[in-house]
Structure 1
Amino acid sequence: MENNNTILIVDDHPMTVDSYINLLSDVDGLSNACFLKSFSSQDAFQKINFCNAQNGKIDLTLLDINLPPFEEYNIFSGIELGKLIKLRFPECKLIFLTMRSEPLLVDKVLKDLCPEGFISKNDINFETFPQICKKIVEGDFYRSETIINSQRELFKRNINWDVYDSQILLLIADGVKTINIPEYVPLSMSSIEKRKANIKAQLINGVGNDKELIHSAKRLGLI
């Protein structure tokens, strides 16, 4: 990446955004980059679409997962923003920086977006962060230790389902009623019911309500 690149940073903590900018400004090839700050899903959504409408570009995006939702456009987290960025700017390199490391969430992000970087904030410091970003900018993929261990945990559990099943379980954990899940997942109600039955079969032997299902998933460390 050259000095004239545009970097979007989205985090709801302004001091975190400023820290990323200060550290990235010392990375070779990024010292003169144009940095776009965003502290909410709504503002990020607007910046992404404005840049696209102006035939601009975003070369690198740093995203938190936990962000205030912009429900009007079905943006509930950094994951939906990541999808929008990849839609508008397919060549943009995407780095998730998050405190979240639940196995199902990690699996969903990796399968949905395959970001160039997926980093637990607990795994980086002022010294390692710019080095990692430099490697990603130069073409590497990077997963921090916590993210890798989260992937391994899911493999150990031998969970037999796909990204839609994970999304269904995460939605139930967020309090979304089964009847409303088709608003979030592109599946029919009958398909969702079958998948939910499969999830229950694996986690609670097919017996129990949603509360017991989520309790089991949390006990196993999946969410």
Structure 2
Amino acid sequence: MTKLLNTLIIEDHQLIIDGYTRALEHVSSQNHEIVFKITVAKNCDDANYEIEHAVKNNLIDLVFLDISLPPCKNRILVSGDDLGMKLRSLFPQVKIIVSTHLNNNFRLVNILKMVKPDSLLLKSELDSKNLTEAILNVINDIPYYSKPILKLVRQHISNDFNLDDIDRQMLYQLSLGSKTKELPEVIHLSIAGIEKRKRRLNQIFNNEKKSDKVLIRLAKEKGFL
């Protein structure tokens, strides 16, 4: 019996999209009972549209997710992290394969905590072999994390850089030049709540100077922007 897997590729680089497509075609050619119906989105707006469209018919089974993506025009979804968390909330059973160029261990641990991907790969190591292995493992309910990812996570697993979506929205808006007093206009928190979050972020990133400029620099160094 043929098994149809509705597959959403969220990626803004065509070469990577082509690589995913070839890997899916290879898996299907070796397993004739599996068919992938592929949809592609190249930014957060398009991906959000496909997710919202799929909600009505539960049409997402497998997702390839890039982390660094062009944000939504309304700035509500600013990265693949946001899309991944939305997918998890709307489709609890969805299988998510994340690939990223980020190799900062703190950032990778945060992706694992927040998105909870079934597979996490570095783009620098993507090839047909590990892509095929990741797909086969994930569709058979077996997590797949590449060796470099596991090594990085083990080295710094004790560090708590667990930022939620509001923290990352704040960092993103500050990186655009927004002032603290302007943040309640785009983030649904009071000014007191914003300031409390900022104090926590300054502690997390060891920002002794407490300046927004230094906070943004430290967040970029850790791969959060």
Q: Is the partner of 1:33 in helix, strand or coil?
A: strand
Q: Is the partner of 2:135 in helix, strand or coil?
A: helix
1:120 deviates by: 1.1
Query: 2:17 aligned with 1:37, yes or no?
Result: no
2:63 maps to which of 38, 52, 61: 61
Indicate conservation of the 8 Å contact 2:24/2:36, yes or no.
no
1:97 deviates by: 1.1
RMSD (Å) for aligned C-alpha atoms: 3.2
In the superposition, relative to structure 1, how do residues 79 and 203 fare at CA in structure 2: closer, same or farther (>3 Å)? closer
Q: Is the partner of 2:120 in helix, strand or coil?
A: strand
Indicate conservation of the 8 Å contact 2:7/2:62, yes or no.
yes
After TM superposition, the structure 1 = structure 2 runs for residues 93-132 of structure 1, keeping only pairs within 5 Å, are 93-132=95-134
Distance 1:186 1:143 in 2: 35
In the superposition, relative to structure 1, how do residues 98 and 129 fare at CA in structure 2: closer, same or farther (>3 Å)? same
2:87 maps to which of 85, 88, 104: 85
In the superposition, relative to structure 1, how do residues 218 and 57 fare at CA in structure 2: closer, same or farther (>3 Å)? closer
Counterpart of 1:20 in structure 2 is 20
Q: Deviations over 1:103-148 (max 9, x none)?
A: 4433332222211112111233122210122111111122333433
1:186 deviates by: 5.8
Specify the code of the residue in structure 2 equivalent to 1:118.
L
Unaligned regions of 5+ residues in structure 1, if any? none
Distance 2:134 2:109 in 1: 21
Q: Deviations over 1:17-50 (max 9, x none)?
A: 1221111122136752211122232222222222
Q: Is the partner of 1:50 in helix, strand or coil?
A: helix
In the superposition, relative to structure 1, how do residues 210 and 145 fare at CA in structure 2: closer, same or farther (>3 Å)? farther
Unaligned regions of 5+ residues in structure 2, if any? none
In the superposition, relative to structure 1, how do residues 215 and 142 fare at CA in structure 2: closer, same or farther (>3 Å)? same
Percent identity of equivalent pairs? 27
Distance 2:189 2:152 in 1: 27
Moved more, 5-14 or 108-117: 108-117
Distance 2:169 2:75 in 1: 20
Counterpart of 1:49 in structure 2 is 52
After TM superposition, the structure 1 = structure 2 runs for residues 156-195 of structure 1, keeping only pairs within 5 Å, are 158-159=159-160, 162-164=162-164, 167=168, 170-171=171-172, 174-175=175-176, 176-182=178-184, 187-195=189-197
1:99 deviates by: 0.8
In the superposition, relative to structure 1, how do residues 29 and 48 fare at CA in structure 2: closer, same or farther (>3 Å)? farther
Specify the code of the residue in structure 2 equivalent to 1:34.
K
